[in-house]
Structure formats: C-alpha cells, structure tokens
Amino acid sequence: MRDILVTLIVVGSIPFILKRPYIGVLMWVWISVMNPHRLAYGFAVDLPFAAIVGGATLIGLVVSKDPKNLPLVPLSIVFIAFILWMNVTTLTAIHLDLVYEQWKKVMKIMFMILITLMLIKTKQQVQLLIGVIVFSLAFYGVKGGIFTILGGGQYIVWGPPDSFIAGNNEMALALTILIPLVHYFQLITKNMWMRYGLTVVIVLCAGASIASYSRGALLAIAVMGAFLWFKSHHKLRLALLFIIAIPIMVANMPEQWGLRMNTIETYQADTSVQGRFNAWEMAFNLTKDRPVLGGGFEVTTPELFARYAPNKTDIPRAAHSIYFQALGEHGYVGLSLYLLLGFLTWRTGTWIIRNTRGIDEYQWATSLATMIQVSLVGFAMGGTFLSLLYFDVPFYLMAALIVTRSIVEKELKEKIVLAISTVSADSSRQLGKSSIPLQPITRDSG
C-alpha cells in the first residue's frame, strides 16, 4: 500500500511540475529530505523517484514561461565558487578511482539548490519550501516522540535508511534544527489551535532528539535553545515551556541515557569521543601535506588513516565534523569558502531582520530570517561532531534567505520609487497652483 501511495503521488505530480516547475522543487525536497520511498516495503524502495522528479522539473524549467533567473548576489556567487572548488578537488583527489559516486551525489544536491534559487520566487513559494522541510522532518519527530513516550526512552530513534538522517546522531541534529522552523509557523499563524498543535510537535521533536542518545544533539539543543530564547519576543512563554518540558523529558529517560550523557564530562575516557579527535587530527595532518586542495572525496581509507592518523590502531572513521570534513576533503580553500557561506547566510538573515522589523507586512520575513538563524546556530554546534557537510537542509535554508531578501529588497525599492513619484506629483501640482505666470522678456529700445 505504501509503495502504491508514494508512486501515485510522484507520478500524479508530474503534470503539475511541467506546468509549474517550482512544484518540482517542492517534490524534490520532500523526496530527498523525508525519503518516503524508504518507508515502503516493496517495489518503491529502489525506484528512482528523485530522478523522475528532477527530470520533470528540468523539462518544466525549459518550457515554462515563469521567471527563472538565478539571483547573483555575493552569497550565491560564493556558493557557486564552493561547487566549482569541489569539482577541482575531485579532479585532484588522492583516490580518484573512488570519488565518482560521492561526487555524483553531492553535485545532484548542489545542482538542485541552484534550481531552487531559479524557481522559488514568491513569498508563498518560500513558505511552501519551509513547510515541506518541516513536514518531512516533523513526520519522524512526531513519530519518534510518541515512540519515546510509549517506550519510556528505552530505544534509540533512527531515521530512514540510506539517507543523511539514517543514524541516530544525524536524526537528532535534524530534529534539533527543525524546532525553530516549526516555531516560525507558530509566529505567523493566527489560529490558536494551530499554535497549540505546533507546540505539541515541538515537544515531541525535542523528545525524539533527546531520545536519540546523541550527546552532540544535546549540546546543540542547549545552545540553540538559549539563542532561541534570546531572539524570541515571547521569552516568558518559551522559558515556561523549557522549564516544564525539559525536566520532565530528562526525568523519564532510562538510566543508560543518563550514563551516556554524563560521559560528556569524562570524554577523556570515552573511546567514541577519542575516535572523533583521532579523525579530526587525521584530517588536519592530511591537509598539512595538501593545504590547498585537500584529499578530495573518500579520504576515509585504511591507507590514509595509517599515514595521517595519530592513533593508527583505531578503525578508519569519517571526519565526524562538518569543519574537519571540509578541511580534509577540500583543503583550506574549501573550508574558507564553506565558512564564508555560513557568514554571508547569517548576514543575509540580519539584513532581512534589520529592514523588515516592525513592518506588519513583512512580519513573515522577519520571523523567517530569525528562526533560520536559530536553526543555523544549532547546525553549527551539532555539526561540530557529525559528518554532515553535504546535508541539504541547511543549503535550502540558505536559498530561502537569498530569495526572501530578493523579494523584500525589490518590494521596498518599488515602495520608495512610488513614494518619491507621489511626492513629486504632489509638489508639481502645488507648484502649478501657486506659481505666477511668466511674462515675455522685452528689451528696452532706449
């Protein structure tokens, strides 16, 4: 039944995608973030739904008359530079024979981010994009939260197989950065029951994240929660929610959860943490030899670990950090471009907040930029401990900010031009009423 349902949804969306290709972006995000076909049990599991939707979107992009220009602003230009640099490091990779599959996967993601920037153009489309992300992740958060309550936190919450969020740590971080996006819809909705329902979603997602047994996610929630409180206009309400909900969640978690979280204080004796440090230093040592280009994709091999890892007896591990992953795979240039992306994304959000704050018409933009900034704080913290450099959700949030700024900037300029023209017209009318008729100039003949 699940196989048939997912297939019907995807196939049924194709005519709409061809007519309105932005729908293809929304479908792509749903498939790539939620991975609904991974929840099936039959023929749909391995069907190339992403390729089908992507192909239909490209056809729609070509034949549609909708606006489709790529906004060339500093942030999008740096993003393109990052993509190009990853291609350079691929061509110069240490294990050139191993990189193709990862390169193909990453380039598909980056290409669709560019398509998103070309096709998402309006306030409604931006909100639909955020809504699809929220739905795709909240499905697992609500399900995992209920599962946690019924199971007393005895079992770990996992994500869909063969996805970015398949692991418990990755799922926990995804649910952490989801919480501010859910809160965004609380801020813009006027329906009281909708706000209550979204509060339940937030609590369940937080519970599912905590029940993942991820220490990095716990740190990310703590840092992000503090920043969310600082940014929110409803500080008392949020404080009460944190004070009531979090102690209840923690108190009902089993003993083994508390023992695992306590290892944060005794990380020197934790083999998992020490393995992460070993992977970080391995990436750093590799970059000493190749500071500009890094090692390219697929540097987690026994050969390279034996050459660069300080503890050579440890098993080869992924970088377990978005920063060391960027450093090891793409060198200092790649890391610099990635950090610059984060900085410019933040500045874009700040520009939106500064120019729309207090204007009722743009409350949606102010709230969206604020909550995306909160999400990015959570990702920046949690990503310190996970290899999620290519996780697509933060890139979609970046795209949402670029488009939102473009919308706001264009509309504000139009309002200024209209105001100036109105004032000029009024001034001309007043001048016409009060001016003295000019007399012809005559010359004195004497």
Per residue of the chain (446 residues), what is the pLDDT tens digit?
788 898 899 999 999 999 999 999 999 999 999 988 888 778 888 788 889 999 999 999 998 887 788 999 999 999 999 999 999 999 999 999 999 999 999 999 999 999 999 999 999 999 999 999 999 999 999 988 888 777 766 667 777 888 888 888 888 889 999 999 999 999 899 888 998 999 899 988 888 887 776 777 777 877 887 887 777 766 666 666 666 666 666 666 655 655 555 555 555 545 667 778 888 899 999 999 999 999 999 888 888 888 988 887 777 778 889 999 999 999 999 999 999 999 999 999 999 999 999 888 999 999 999 999 999 999 999 898 888 999 999 999 999 999 999 999 998 888 888 888 777 666 667 666 655 454 444 444 43
- The reply to whether 145 falls in a domain is yes
Residue 356 and residue 313 share a domain: yes
In the listed set 236, 264, 292, which residue is the last one of a domain according to the structure? Answer: 264
Closest CA relative to residue 194, chosen from 185, 202, 203: 185
pLDDT score of 247: 67
Phi-psi category of residue 162: left, alpha or beta, with phi > 0 → left and psi -120 to 50 → alpha? left
Residue 16 and residue 87 share a domain: no
- The reply to whether 381 falls in a domain is yes
Cβ(27)–Cβ(53) below 8 Å: yes
Residue 100 and residue 40 share a domain: no
Q: How many CB atoms lie within 10 A of CB 345?
A: 24
Residue 364 and residue 232 share a domain: no
CA distance 339 to 321: 13
pTM of the model: 0.88
Residue 380 and residue 308 share a domain: yes
Residue 167 and residue 137 share a domain: yes
Three-state secondary structure readout of the chain: CHHHHHHHHHHHHHHHHHHCCHHHHHHHHHHHHHCHHHHCCCHHHHCCHHHHHHHHHHHHHHHCCCCCCCCCCHHHHHHHHHHHHHHHHHHCCCCCCCCHHHHHHHHHHHHHHHHHHHHCCCHHHHHHHHHHHHHHHHHHHHHHHHHHHHHCCCCCCCCCCCCCCCCHHHHHHHHHHHHHHHHHHHHHCCCHHHHHHHHHHHHHHHHHHHCCCCHHHHHHHHHHHHHHHHHCCCHHHHHHHHHHHHHHHHHCCCHHHHHHHHCCCCHHHCHHHHHHHHHHHHHHHHHHHCCCCCCCCCCCCHHHHHHHCCCCCCCCCCCCCHHHHHHHHHHHHHHHHHHHHHHHHHHHHHHHHHHHCCCHHHHHHHHHHHHHHHHHHHHHHHHHHCCCCCCHHHHHHHHHHHHHHHHHHHHHHHHHHHHHHHHHHHHHHHHHHHCCCCCCCCCCCC
Q: Give the chain's domain count.
A: 3
pLDDT score of 257: 56
- The reply to whether 441 falls in a domain is no
Q: What angle do CA 220, 223, 226 make, to 5 degrees?
A: 140
- The reply to whether 257 falls in a domain is yes
Residue 409 and residue 273 share a domain: yes
Q: How many CB atoms lie within 10 A of CB 368?
A: 29
CA distance 316 to 318: 7
- The reply to whether 150 falls in a domain is yes
Residue 294 and residue 390 share a domain: yes
- The reply to whether 431 falls in a domain is no
Residue 248 and residue 198 share a domain: yes
- The reply to whether 297 falls in a domain is yes
Residue 390 and residue 287 share a domain: yes
- The reply to whether 272 falls in a domain is yes
Q: What is the dihedral of CA 342, 343, 349, 355, to 10 degrees?
A: -160
pLDDT score of 443: 43
CA distance 334 to 319: 15
Residue 378 and residue 254 share a domain: no
CA distance 216 to 170: 10
Residue 291 and residue 168 share a domain: no
In the listed set 209, 240, 264, which residue is the last one of a domain according to the structure? Answer: 264
In the listed set 264, 281, 314, which residue is the last one of a domain according to the structure? Answer: 264
- Containing domain of residue 394, as a range? 73-119+266-419
